[in-house]
Structure 1
């Protein structure tokens, strides 16, 4: 998860199928979770998945953050992509929850993306990334 990538930077890949279609296709390796779908249904299949796209239909819909964290904490190591209403302000927090790529419906300036991802040098809580919370640094 060291790099946070734009979808356009990705090589050709298998199209992601819906959750229901994925559960019926034993050879599918890419799935798309819509807002409100239970990410825990994918846990038995994490070993075969190469890509999980998580939909953000509106910027104020935070269910995708929870889905990402559930999947990373369950051991998913493949690509986790945020898709849809992905805004600059959300990228830092998306990465902390486990996303390693995104595809925004908005045109995002690469310099702004880089600035957003590096805006905060310290964090205040544990997450799925390797960042050590500041209180642990202070009280080591």
Structure 2
């Protein structure tokens, strides 16, 4: 199961990055990675930590993901999500004890979600 997320996300190009009360990374397919809790964004020049809130706007670094490709993706053993873009930029969403911190969805609905307590649930997969 942990490696199944790579089949869903790896090789997809980032179409847009949106903020607000969550971070949405829209990929071709269409597939969306939705982050609803804290996450870490590491680039070669540094690390940023984010806590989504109603007024959060993506930073210049996050917006620079547009046009890049998800190189690898994995669900961590603890139930977090890690995405590596073009080999040098990492978005890491840790699991959370109380909230569901991340979801991967298509127009048809949720594909995979990190649930409260580090559990992960799968409901299907997008066609490629």
**Bucket of the pairwise TM-score, normalised by the shorter protein:** under 0.3
Q: Which has the higher helix share?
A: 1
Q: Which has the higher strand share?
A: 2
Find the structure with the greater CA-based Rg. Answer: 1
Give the TM-score taking structure 1 as reference length.
Answer: 0.24
Q: TM-score, normalised by structure 2?
A: 0.26
